Structure 1
Amino acid sequence: MMRPAVVAALLLAGCVPPQAAPGGPTYLGVRTSLLDGDLVNFNVALTGAATPDAVEKYAQCAAAQYALIRGYSFARLVRTNVTEEGGTWGADAVYTISSDLPRGLATIDAVVTVADCGTSGIPTV
Structure 2
Amino acid sequence: MFASTLPAKALTLAACGGLLGCAGGARAPIDPPARTQYLGVDTRLLEGDLVSFMVQVAGDDGQQAAIGYTRCAAAQYALIRGYSFARHVRTSTAQKGGIWEADGVYTISPDLPRGTRTIDAEVVADDCKAQDIPTV
Which of the five TM-score ranges fits, normalised by the shorter chain?
0.7 to 0.9
SS of residue matched to 1:52: helix
1:107 equivalent among 99, 118, 121: 118
Q: Match for residue 47 of structure 1?
A: 58
Shift of 1:51: 4.7
- Structure number with greater CO (CA < 8 Å, separation at least 6) is 1
What are the superposed Cα offsets for residues 21-77 of structure 1, whole Å, 9 maximum, x if unpaired? xx6311111101101110001100010133511100000000000000000000000
2:113 maps to 1:98: no
- Where structure 2 has 5 or more consecutive residues not aligned to the other structure, the ranges are 1-33
Q: Match for residue 5 of structure 1?
A: none
Count of aligned pairs between the two proteins: 103
- Where structure 1 has 5 or more consecutive residues not aligned to the other structure, the ranges are 1-22
2:70 maps to 1:59: yes
TM-score calculated relative to the size of structure 2: 0.73
Q: Map of 1:1-125 to 2, 5 A cutoff? A: 24-125=35-136
What are the superposed Cα offsets for residues 71-92 of structure 1, whole Å, 9 maximum, x if unpaired? 0000000000001122100001
TM-score calculated relative to the size of structure 1: 0.79
Let me know the Cα RMSD of the aligned residues: 1.1
Partner amino acid for 1:103? Answer: R
SS of residue matched to 2:123: helix
Q: Larger Rg: 1 or 2? A: 2
Q: Match for residue 15 of structure 1?
A: none
Question: Distance in 1 between the 2:52 and 2:99 partners?
Answer: 19
What are the superposed Cα offsets for residues 82-110 of structure 1, whole Å, 9 maximum, x if unpaired? 01122100001110000001111111000
SS of residue matched to 2:125: helix
Higher normalized strand content (fraction of residues): 1
Question: Distance in 1 between the 2:39 and 2:61 partners?
Answer: 16
- Identical pairs, percent: 59
